[in-house]
Structure 1
Amino acid sequence: MLYLIRPQQTVDWVDLPHHFADVAAEYGEPDMALFNWGPVEQFGFHSTVVRLALRFGIPCSTGIVVRGTDLVPFTWLLDVAKLAETPVRSQDLPNEDLMETLMPGWKQESRNMDERVAAAMTAKATELREDLDEELNKPTVPELVQHWRNLGGVLPDPI
């Protein structure tokens, strides 16, 4: 999967293998802006996406193309954060009183399990945040920064 980040603050995607981007980067053709791009639904324009694009992207006539794998640290963090917003409450199921009668201690064990799941989610979010920070600590590619500016893009702060 490839993503096209444009200075007009849009992110589009196309379901093509990464090697298309590699070939375009190596030979300068085709202009990847000509691919059949569609709007991204899972996340929108975000400064972190631009920051990653400035490190790992490939310039095209309308923006910077990024391989899906280069956005994984960001998208996984978004996914885990979204999951963590809704606390797990496994004891709030239909017939919970029946379960407690059949298996005394079921409600308490369910609460304990919910706490373990929440702790695991927090730990995973911390790990993913560290992975993302590691990627963002890598240097930007000066040519991509200049390309972004030339297209009228605003550089994020921090870059």
Structure 2
Amino acid sequence: MAHLYLLRPRGPLMWVDVGDGVQDLARRAGADLAGLDWETSTDRVDESTIRLALRHGEPCSTGLVVDGSILRSTSRGAGGPTLATGSDEMADRGGLLGRLLPGRAARRHDEVPRARVPEHAGGTGELLTQPPNPVCVEHWTALGGRPPDPV
């Protein structure tokens, strides 16, 4: 299972569990990840979370989608938020892909490519060494978000 977060310029942090490989498949097909069944998270968005999203996020129509492994790595330090780690239950991949890719036949469960979830043991500092993605910064700003200063 992959745990994804959706950061929006206005509104609470959202999350969803999807099957492994769904995010990559949606990206290749040009599907809008905003179409997933997002749930409201009890976690808060702070400047560090926005900085990570501007580096490691993926634009969708309503904000930036970030792999949960990236945000969870930042919560390992003392005082960090406790982000959900997802469940072990299998997702309804056919139904999910059908919603993301309307008009296309969803692949069978065993045909969905497996994504490799990177380990980010270095925490926030290591993840912030990459420069912000200009596409993410422009998208965030176009949606009304203000990047932290410094980004």
Class of the TM-score when normalised by the shorter of the 2 chains: 0.5 to 0.7
Give the share of equivalent positions with the same residue, in percent: 39
Letter in 2 for 1:70: I
Give the TM-score normalised by structure 2.
0.66
Higher relative contact order (CA 8 A, sep 6+): 2
Q: How far is the alpha carbon of 1:10 from its aligned partner?
A: 2.2
Is 2:60 aligned against 1:68?
A: no
Q: How far is the alpha carbon of 1:137 from its aligned partner?
A: 1.6
For residue 21 of structure 2, give the secondary structure of its aligned residue in structure 1: helix
Letter in 1 for 2:10: Q
8 Å CA contact retained: 1:11, 1:44: yes
Cα deviations by residue, 1:128-152 (Å, 9 ceiling, x for unpaired): 8x63112112111111110111111
Residue of structure 2 equivalent to 1:117: none
8 Å CA contact retained: 1:53, 1:64: yes
For residue 76 of structure 1, give the secondary structure of its aligned residue in structure 2: coil
Question: Would you tell me which structure has more helix in proportion to its own residues?
Answer: 1
State how far apart, in whole Å, the 2-side matches of 1:21 and 1:75 are: 22
Residue of structure 2 equivalent to 1:32: 33
8 Å CA contact retained: 2:76, 2:123: no
Give the TM-score normalised by structure 1.
0.63
Task: Indicate which of 141, 146, 151 corresponds to 1:154.
Answer: 146
| 1:6-45 mapped onto 2 (5 Å cutoff) | 6-29=8-31, 31-41=32-42, 43-45=43-45
Number of aligned residue pairs: give it: 109
Q: How far is the alpha carbon of 1:62 from its aligned partner?
A: 0.2
Runs of 4+ aligned structure 1 residues displaced above 3 Å come to: none
Q: Which has the larger radius of gyration?
A: 1
State how far apart, in whole Å, the 2-side matches of 1:51 and 1:151 are: 16
Superposition RMSD on alpha carbons, in Å? 1.8
Structure 1, unpaired ranges of 5+: 83-127
State how far apart, in whole Å, the 1-side matches of 2:11 and 2:24 are: 24
For residue 14 of structure 1, give the secondary structure of its aligned residue in structure 2: strand
